[in-house]
Amino acid sequence: MKVLATVAEALAQSRAKLPRVVVPTMGALHKAHLELIRVARNYAGRDGEVAVSIFVNPLQFEPGSDYERYPRPDRQDEELCRNADVNLLFRPSPAEMYADDRSVFVEETSLSNTLEGKSRPGHFRGVCTVVAKLFNILAPDAAVFGEKDFQQLVIIRRMVRDLNFKIDIVGVPTVRENDGLACSSRNQYLNVEERKQATALRRALLAAADRTKAGEESAKTIVDLARKTIGQASLARIDYVDLVDAKNLLPIEVVRPNSLLALAVFFGQTRLIDNILVG
C-alpha cells in the first residue's frame, strides 16, 4: 500500500491498474468503513485499485462543532487499510488541500436545504467542495459512500450528474452494531448510559416502518411515533425527525413509495443521525 500525503504525489500516481475506486473518509475507521472498502474491492476486482482518502475536512464543520476533537487515530487507520487490501491511502493536511486565499467552492442549492443542510448551514458546500477535489486529484472510475449519510449520497450523485463527472457513485447500506445503532466514528464520544440509550434511534425507525407496513399513510403520525419512541430515552435531545421524498428530500405529508424517515438526535454533546426507507 502506498501512503500519499501531498496532492502532487497523488496526481503523479500512474493508472496501471483499472478501474480505480475511491472511498472518501474522515478517518477513525471502523467496520462500516471496512464494508465500504470491501464493496470498493468487489467493484474494482482483483486487478483494479482501491484508494482510501482520510481527511478531516474543516469546511464541513460549522463553528463550535467537534472539528478539533474529531478522532484522528492515524496509525490504527493505516494498519486497517493495509489489512483490508487497500492500494492507495491519501492522507493530506488541510494546508495541502486548501490554499489560504481559496475563493472557489462547490455548492448544491436544492437538495441541501432540508435535514442536515437545514441544521448545519454550509455543511454540504464543504462536502461537495472536498469531494470534487478528491475526484479531480484521485481520478477514480467509481466512488463508494454509505447510506447512513443518505442526504450526502443523494447530493453527491446530483453533483456528479450536474458537473459531468464520469464517475459511478455506489451506495452501501448502513452497517450497524449488534444492538442496531448505526456505526459512526462519533459513537466513541458516548458514555456508557448515552450509548445504551442511543439504541432508541433504531427502535424509532423500525416502529415507524412497521406502522407504514400496517397501512398508516399520515406523515405526521409516523413522525410523532418516532419522536415518542426516541422520547423514551431520557438523555435524547431531538434535532429533527422528518419524513421526506427520498429523491428530492422535500417534506411530504402522505407516505408513498420511496419515502425516507430521517433523524438527528443529540446524546450529551454527541449528535447522531440515522434513517430508513418506508412506504
- What pLDDT does 279 receive? 84
Low-confidence ranges of the chain (pLDDT < 50): none
Report helix, strand or coil for 182: strand
All domains of the chain in start order, with CATH: 2-172 (3.40.50.620), 185-273 (3.30.1300.10)
pLDDT at site 166: 97
Residues identified as active-site: 33
Peptide bond into 19 cis (omega under 30): yes
Write out pLDDT tens, residues 234-274: 999 999 999 999 999 999 999 999 999 999 999 999 999 99
In angstroms, how far apart are the furthest CA atoms of the chain? 56
Grid cell listed for 256: 408513498
- Give Cβ neighbours of residue 142 (< 8 Å, ≥ 6 apart): 19, 20, 21, 22, 40, 43, 44, 167, 168, 169, 170
Handedness of CA 194, 199, 201, 204 (dihedral sign): negative
